[in-house]
Structure formats: C-alpha cells, structure tokens
Structure 1
Amino acid sequence: MKSCGEVTKYSKLIVMFVLVCLTYQGRISATLQFNKVFVGGTAWLPCGFSNPKNISLDSLMIFFQKEQHGETKVVYELYKGVEKQTHQNIKYQNRTKLDLYTLTLQISGVTPEDGGIYECVVLSKQGSEHSDKLHSKEQHLNVTANFSKPVIMQSPEGRVSAGMAINLSASSTQGYPKPEDVYWRITVVNGTIKNYNANNSFIKDNATGLYNINSILTLKVTEDTKVSFIIQSSWQQTISSSEFRIYIQTIPPQAERIHLFALLGFGIIPSLFLFLFLFFWLRRMRNQNIPSASYIDSDGLSMHILELLNRRRIFTVPTATKESHLLFTV
C-alpha cells in the first residue's frame, strides 16, 4: 500500500492541475467572450473596463475595432467624451451607440457581415502626444438566422407501388450561417432508421447574405416509409421537416375481379359484336352478287359461278340464239 505521504503528494498534484486548468479557462473567457445575436436584431458588446481610478471620460479614448479580411475597421470611437465619425467605417455609421455608464456598445440592424471578433481598447490621453493603454478586451459576435421549416415534395405525385423509384425534394430558406450538415432520415415500418446524404445545393443571397438550401433524393420504395429532412446548424440547433409519409398502394382481390370484368366488358364483348357484324355483312354482300335474272355468256361462265348456281334451284329457257340462255332462279 502507498504511504500517506505519497497520497498527499498525488493529491497536491491533482489540485494544482485543476487550478491551472481553471485559471487557463478563466483567462480565455476573460480575453474572448462569445455573444450570439439574430440577423436584424441588436448586439450588445461590453467593453469590460471597470475604471478603477475613476478617470473622467474627458481624459479617455475608447474605441471598438474589428479585424476583417486583413483590415482593421473602426466600429465606434469616443474621444474625450465626444463621439467621432471621422475614422468610423461607413457600414457602422448611424447603427452604433455607447452606454456611457457601462461602456457597452450597441449595434442595431445586425447583418451576417457583422459577425466576427471585436476589440475594445481604452487609452488614457496624457497631453497631446502621449497615450497609455489602460484596457483591452476581445469578444466574438456570432450572427445567426434560423432556417425555415423544410418542405418536402414528391415526384411523381400520386399512388406509389412497391419497387417504384420516386424523387423527393426538400427546400429551406433564409438561414445563417451555412449549416454544418444536412441529411435525409428514412424510417420503414419495422423501425429501421437510415440517414442519407443527397444532392444538396446551398445558394447564398447576395443582398441579405442568407442561405437557401435545396436537396434532391432518389428513393426506391418497397414498403410504407416515413421521411424527414434535417438541418444541423453550427450552434447544435436541429431543424427538421414535418414527417412525410409514403404509403404503398395495393389492389384488393375484389378490386382485381372488378378490373378483370371491366377488361372483358370493354375488350372481348365489342370484339364479338364486330365479328358478328362482319359475318352478316359479308354474307349479305355475297347474296347481292347473284342476280335474280340476267343474261350470261355460257362460254365465259367461271367454275365459281357454276358452283353457286348448282346450290340453287335453277332452270334454263332457250333463247333465240344458241350462244345464250335465259336463267331464272326460284
């Protein structure tokens, strides 16, 4: 077993490690504060200067600045108690206001472009040339906008049969920032759940800076299915569509019999009527081709006509010439 001295030694090391971690975490929190604001809302950025010596604002220079694309932009400047717009970036003019008691900066009408790291700097103005840096604090402004509830559409619409391939499309609009992940969730009747990545497109609106999402999934349906489209934002916020249900349509036995009778009624019966019509029409035409009384050249009489005549009761009457006979049929 370990001695009490060794246990005490390890305990001290653990306590020191915890204190170091807490101190490091506290420094990070003190130097970089995170603020979240929605697009169109108002951001509040505290400077964090406590002014322990109670220095008058007339002797201080307070300004907020932002680093963006390698360029430092002046967001707000208070020079000896007076607001100055000489160096202020044009995008922040008429949108900023400083609370002189708490030294908290207010930015109204937040846009996606306002997101980023801001720094508040406090200088003590000593004479006309020299300035002492009294305070500096950085904080991160996170701008967000919730995507609209995704809407799912099916193509082709209507009844779905087993084994049929359909296209599902989902759309969501006016969100920020670009989501970390989007996917389809498919649930079948036995409870099996599968996630699918599909053909996704993210379109940024140049006017607003917001994103629109379109996604298309081709799915072969073999059984009743539930479908959802899910957006996972960078703030661990999940936005899901309403559950879209796909039902496999089957034809019951009674409907199959009705379907068979319909085929008989609309297919076979008209064909039978057509056959009978053609039969009687041909028979009538054949009867009309044999005259009741006519003069026929006996030398040119074909065998076919002779057969027809033999089937009838006929007799001949000699005429004035030997070349012809008068035929009568009864």
Structure 2
Amino acid sequence: MACPPAAPPALRRWLGLGLFVLLCLSLGYALEKKVIKSKAGEKIGLPCCHEIPSTGSLHDYRVYWQKNTTDVVLAYAEGKMISQHERYKNRVEMDTRTLTLWISPVETLDNGPYQCVVQHLRFSQNSIVVCDELVSLFVTAEFSKPNITAEVSAHSCESTEMVVRCSSHGGFPKPKISGALNNVSVVWNASWVSESSLSPYNVTGKLLLNVTKDISITCSIEHNGFAKSTSLLLRKMNDCIVPTVPPSYNVVTASSIIIIIFLLAITLAARYLLRHVCSHCCKPQDSVEEGVKECTKPPVSSKVTSETSSV
C-alpha cells in the first residue's frame, strides 16, 4: 500500500501555528469564564465543575469547596455537611444539585481562587475524582464620595496659602486619586491605609496651594474603571488691611514740644490782651471821677470876695 505524500514544510508550519493560536484562544476563553466578579454586600454564586444528574443523589458524592487549595470553605460527604470554615459561617450554602457555592454577603476578604473537588462514591466505598476545577472570585467595594477641605495656613495682600485635603474610604481595590485646578491636572500627595492586601482602603490626598484668585479644585477617586468626583471653590481672602505704623519716639517728642509752645503762646497772648483792654477801660473812668470831684468843691474865689465886701 502506498503512503500518502508528506505535506510540504511550509504547510506544516502554518498548520502548527494555526493549532497553537486556536489553543491559546480556547484557554483564554476558558480562563475568562472562570472569573466571577461581584460587589461587596451582594450575593454571589461560584459554579462547580459537576452537576448531579436527576437519577443521582448527593449521598453518592463527596464535595469539597476550598479556597487557595488549603482552606476548606464547605465540605459534604454522603449528603451531610462535615466541615465549614469559621469565617464563612452563616454566609455560605451549597446547592445540592448544581453544587454551586453561594456566598452572601460577599466581602473583599473573599477575593481569591476557589476550587471545587467532586468525588463519586462506589459500592466498595472507594471514590473516584469526577472533577477538580478552579474559579476566581474578584470582589470590589465602592468608595465614599470624596470630601475636600481647605485650611488657610498663611495670608497676605497678594495671596492666600492653603492646605487642601481630599479623602475617601471603604473601597477596594487600591484606588487612584487625581485632580484638576481650573481644569488643569494636578498631582496629589496621596497616602493609602489598609489593614491587609484584601481589606478596604482609605485614601487621602494633600495639596499646598498659593491662591492669588478664586479657583475651582476637583478631586476624583478612580478604581475598577469607575470614578467619583467632588469639586470645591477656593476663594482668596480679600480683607487685606494695611497696618498703621506708629510714629517714632523723636516725632512724638517734637510734636509734644510744638504743642506745649503753642499753648504757652496762646496763654501769654491772652494775658497781654486782657491787660491792654483793662488799662484802656480804666483810664476814662478815673478822669470822670476826678472831674466830678472838682465840680463838687466850693469855689474859693467867691468866698474870698464876699468876705472882702463885708469888711
């Protein structure tokens, strides 16, 4: 029997490349299906790799739900729950038919890979592994609306120095903080606080600004493709009062001497005027009194004449 001719080397290379691309695409699609996304506080179901048929029963299986392949979240054997993790107590349950693991409410600490291991029990009590598959859970948490505060650190007639802070809390994963000053991007001096890599984050941004006019500042918290923003109008302080400079000691002394001399001059002038007026008023009065006295004196010549005539 004759063998079919071998394919040309170029054709074999193209076939091999095509198979490799198809394999990569199929693996990528499979990995994408195994990632479950949720928000903190919701109820989420993690699908298992096996479903018990209608003719079967949970009593014929052992089911293990594990996290990070080490911590047993929930385990069933022969139809009974035999194990449950303390952290998931009263938050997890398993569908007895689809073997889906339901978590409610889901937390950010629940992030990570989960593994569903299903074993089928036979009459001899030996078991065979039906499936063993991983599924990843990605939980996000919403950040609070950013809060912007401004504190005046220094003030002058030309500008106002302010310390501006923007804060948000309770979100996951680690966010990005950005901002704009009158629509011009600014870089915040940011700091993040979290108890662990899977715990909610608190973020605070700080800016030192020299405000010379009224400006608008915006703070945005971005995570997982979403953003929350807050704006605040910063006003320059306009109550600028130029302080009066107190006069120097020499100026005060000279002013005091001038005032004293002025008062003395006024006093002396007043006294001079009073004396001049009094002297002018008193002279006519004295002359009148003397004239009256002279008029009242008896005439001497007439007396002498009468005496002479009598002799």
- Shorter-chain TM-score category? 0.5 to 0.7
Unaligned 5+ residue runs, structure 2? Answer: 1-7, 248-253, 277-311
Aligned mates of 1:202, 1:36 — CA distance in 2: 24
Matched position secondary structure for 2:87: helix
Alpha-carbon contact 2:38-2:44 (below 8 Å) kept: yes
1:61 aligns with 2:52: no
Once the two structures are TM-superposed, the CA of residue 89 in structure 1 deviates from its matched residue by 1.8
Partner of 1:308: none
Alpha-carbon contact 2:153-2:161 (below 8 Å) kept: no
Once the two structures are TM-superposed, the CA of residue 16 in structure 1 deviates from its matched residue by 4.6
After superposition, residues 215-294 of structure 1 pair within 5 angstroms as 215-233=205-223, 235-240=224-229, 242-247=230-235, 283-284=262-263
Letter in 1 for 2:226: Q
1:278–1:119 CA distance, 2 compared to 1 (3 A): same
Aligned mates of 1:280, 1:219 — CA distance in 2: 52
Once the two structures are TM-superposed, the CA of residue 132 in structure 1 deviates from its matched residue by 0.6
1:216–1:56 CA distance, 2 compared to 1 (3 A): same
1:126–1:9 CA distance, 2 compared to 1 (3 A): closer
TM-score by length of 2: 0.66
Specify which of 89, 92, 97 is matched with residue 93 of structure 2: 97
Specify which of 194, 202, 215 is matched with residue 204 of structure 1: 194
TM-score by length of 1: 0.63
Once the two structures are TM-superposed, the CA of residue 217 in structure 1 deviates from its matched residue by 0.7
Alpha-carbon contact 1:203-1:211 (below 8 Å) kept: yes
Identity of aligned residues (%): 26
Aligned length: 257
The structure 1 segments of at least 4 consecutive aligned residues displaced by more than 6 Å after TM superposition are: 8-14, 157-161, 275-278, 285-289
Aligned mates of 1:185, 1:135 — CA distance in 2: 53
Matched position secondary structure for 2:51: coil
Partner of 1:183: 178
Choose 1 or 2 for highest CA Rg: 2
Matched position secondary structure for 1:21: helix
Partner of 1:322: none
Once the two structures are TM-superposed, the CA of residue 238 in structure 1 deviates from its matched residue by 1.9
Aligned mates of 2:200, 2:22 — CA distance in 1: 43
1:187–1:284 CA distance, 2 compared to 1 (3 A): closer
1:278–1:196 CA distance, 2 compared to 1 (3 A): same
Alpha-carbon contact 2:144-2:171 (below 8 Å) kept: yes
Once the two structures are TM-superposed, the CA of residue 76 in structure 1 deviates from its matched residue by 0.9
Aligned mates of 1:280, 1:124 — CA distance in 2: 117
Partner of 1:133: 129
Letter in 1 for 2:61: L
Once the two structures are TM-superposed, the CA of residue 50 in structure 1 deviates from its matched residue by 3.5
1:204–1:57 CA distance, 2 compared to 1 (3 A): same
1:195–1:276 CA distance, 2 compared to 1 (3 A): closer
Once the two structures are TM-superposed, the CA of residue 137 in structure 1 deviates from its matched residue by 2.0
Larger helix percent = 2
Matched position secondary structure for 1:156: strand
Unaligned 5+ residue runs, structure 1? Answer: 269-274, 293-311, 314-330
Once the two structures are TM-superposed, the CA of residue 277 in structure 1 deviates from its matched residue by 9.0
Aligned mates of 2:263, 2:106 — CA distance in 1: 94
Once the two structures are TM-superposed, the CA of residue 163 in structure 1 deviates from its matched residue by 4.6
